[in-house]
């Protein structure tokens, strides 16, 4: 699964009208902050203690510090990956169970820190078990199975998941490239385009039959947008280029219009398919002597 899939954000930007940065419509604020940030701060005293305990104490305390910081980083990445997984109707489980590994590393780091402080294996083992268990309770486990929409075979689900993963990689590359230009206004404009693209991704996830019609948009067009973004960012990083900036803004506007129009066409097609299915069902029931009002099928 694409594991950058941006975190969850509030429905709008600071004004409530702007699209969420790197997010999608209806997204919520990411949970990869607050408690997770504390995980990075909590082990820092080990760096101070390391230089007052001799060579062995130095090695043990710095090792514990490294293990706990790695656990904090894996926790944050695991939360972001799960938020991306939860946001989709069709998704593959994270390739690496980051939060589970983070719990194990937390326990190991606490074992090493306790052993360095007290020198007792039994006490250190208790700290390790308690720390790993509390981390697991606080942050939960990683998704351990693939998720597919109900009634969709695994082959279709896998095809959709691969296309969505690739599209998310393109979007992430665009954000990373444009960040080099240092243009916050352009970054917000790109966020708006990404929201539009993710509307199409959600539409395809809701009905994988749309994948064929949307594949060119989510593949060729999005790859071209990524390449154009990288080239513009390279130009802007060397020197301001107002003409290139205007051309890039025009490209984003044109792409956004086309993605919006295609998404609406896909949704209209889905609505038409539903109307046809309802009519077929009504005809069949009427042949069986059962008469239904339209509201009965709503």
Please say whether the beta carbons of 117 and 137 come within 8 A: no
Q: Give the pLDDT confidence of 53-93 residue by residue, as tens digits.
A: 788 889 999 999 999 999 999 999 999 888 878 877 667 77
Q: What span, in angstroms and rounded, lies between the C-alpha atoms of 3 and 159?
A: 17
pLDDT in tens, 106-115: 999 999 999 9
- pLDDT reported for residue 270: 53
Mean of pLDDT values over 90-112: 89
- What is the tens place of the pLDDT at every residue in 7-27? 333 333 333 333 344 455 545
| Tokens matching residue 234 | 């390279």
Please tell me the distance from the alpha carbon of residue 68 to that of residue 107, in angstroms, as a whole number: 9
Total-model pTM = 0.57
The more confidently predicted of residues 215 and 256 is: 256
Report the pLDDT value the prediction gives residue 99, as an integer from 0 to 100: 94
3 vs 95: CA distance, rounded Å: 9
The pLDDT score that the predictor gives to residue 278 is 54
Report d(CA 243, CA 105) in Å as an integer: 51
Whole-angstrom distance, CA of residue 198 vs CA of residue 61: 45
Distance CA 16, CA 257 (A): 22
- Please report how many Cα atoms fall inside a 13 Å half-sphere around the Cα of residue 233, on the Cβ side: 20
Answer whether 198's CB lies under 8 Å from 7's CB.
Answer: no
Alpha-carbon span 183 to 124, nearest angstrom:
50
The confidence score (pLDDT) of residue 20 equals: 40
- Give the C-alpha separation, 83 to 91, whole Å: 11
Indicate the average pLDDT of the chain. Answer: 79
**Residue 132 phi/psi, 5° resolution?**
-65, -40
Average of pLDDT values for 136-142?
A: 90
**How high is the pLDDT of residue 158?**
77
Q: Please state, for a pLDDT cut of 70, what percent of the chain lies above it.
A: 76
């Amino acid at each position: 699964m694409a594991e950058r899939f941006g975190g969850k954000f509030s429905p709008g930007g600071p004004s409530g009208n702007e699209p969420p940065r790197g997010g999608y419509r209806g997204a919520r604020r990411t949970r990869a902050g607050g408690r997770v940030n504390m995980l990075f701060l909590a082990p820092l005293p080990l760096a101070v203690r390391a230089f007052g305990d001799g060579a062995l104490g130095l090695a043990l305390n710095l090792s514990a510090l490294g293990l706990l910081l790695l656990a904090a980083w894996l926790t944050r990445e695991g939360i972001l990956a799960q938020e991306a997984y939860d946001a989709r109707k069709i998704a593959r489980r994270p390739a690496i169970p980051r939060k589970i590994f983070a719990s194990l590393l937390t326990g190991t780091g606490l074992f090493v820190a306790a052993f360095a402080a007290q020198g007792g294996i039994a006490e250190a083992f208790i700290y390790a078990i308690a720390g790993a268990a509390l981390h697991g309770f606080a942050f939960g486990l990683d998704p351990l199975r693939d998720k597919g929409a109900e009634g969709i075979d695994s082959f279709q689900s896998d095809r959709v998941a691969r296309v969505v993963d690739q599209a998310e990689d393109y979007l992430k590359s665009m954000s990373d490239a444009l960040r080099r230009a240092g243009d916050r206004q352009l970054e917000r404009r790109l966020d708006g385009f990404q929201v539009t693209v993710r509307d199409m991704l959600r539409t395809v996830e809701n009905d994988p039959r749309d994948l064929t019609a949307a594949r060119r948009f989510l593949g060729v067009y999005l790859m071209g947008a990524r390449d154009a973004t990288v080239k513009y960012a390279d130009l802007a990083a060397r020197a301001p280029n107002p003409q290139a900036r205007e051309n890039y803004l025009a490209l984003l506007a044109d792409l956004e219009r086309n993605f919006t129009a295609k998404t609406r066409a896909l949704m209209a097609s889905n609505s038409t398919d539903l109307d046809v299915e309802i009519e077929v069902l009504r005809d069949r029931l009427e042949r069986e002597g059962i008469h239904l009002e339209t509201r009965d099928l709503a």
